[in-house]
Amino acid sequence: MDPSFNDFNNDDNIRAPDKSKKEQLLHDNRSEYEKQMDEALYLSIQEFKKQHEMNIKYEKEIMNEHAKLINERKDMFRGLLFDLNKLVRFDKDIKEIYEIIEPIIESYCRQCINQCEIDTLTHDRIFKVIGNVRTNKNAIEILKKILIKSE
């Protein structure tokens, strides 16, 4: 073994522990006004933190409700859009109708709009064409509430 290695393991190189110190806190010599201000500041900070936590919780609830409603609306129209999309390759009229109603349904699902006014001719054409498609009639009834004839 290397003799220099033994030099590092020598117990004489260990430092003695520090001595204990006793400290005493200074007497609080602030005025009563300063003490009350510090207490008020502390309470204000605690109230702010509590309010902030409540706001974050409320925002999360709102976002969850929004996402839930989006999913519910998408589920309502999923079957209709799927059935129309299958027929788009074979029928020109259905393709035109699909290109009109798909963005409207998407906007409705994302809660950007609740209703959409379209001219009478387009309205009648849309429901004449999709009325012949075998699909969920409930989705068509909801679509009738969204697409409103303009006068």
Query: Does 141 fall in a domain?
Result: yes
Phi, psi of 149 (to 5 degrees): -70, 135
Query: Does 12 fall in a domain?
Result: no
With a threshold of 0.75, does the pTM exceed it?
no
Query: Does 122 fall in a domain?
Result: yes
- Look at residue 3 in the predicted model and tell me its pLDDT: 53
- Look at residue 135 in the predicted model and tell me its pLDDT: 86
Instruction: Determine how many CB atoms are found less than 10 A away from the CB of residue 142.
Output: 17
Query: Does 21 fall in a domain?
Result: no
Asked if 139 contacts 105 with a C-beta cutoff of 8 angstroms, the reply is no
Domain count, the chain: 1
Average confidence (pLDDT) over 52-75: 96
Query: Does 116 fall in a domain?
Result: yes
Query: Does 6 fall in a domain?
Result: no
Q: Which domain holds residue 71?
A: 44-149
Query: Does 57 fall in a domain?
Result: yes
- Look at residue 6 in the predicted model and tell me its pLDDT: 54
Query: Does 131 fall in a domain?
Result: yes
Highest mean pLDDT among 2-6, 10-14, 64-68: 64-68
Length of the chain: 151
Average confidence (pLDDT) over 69-97: 92
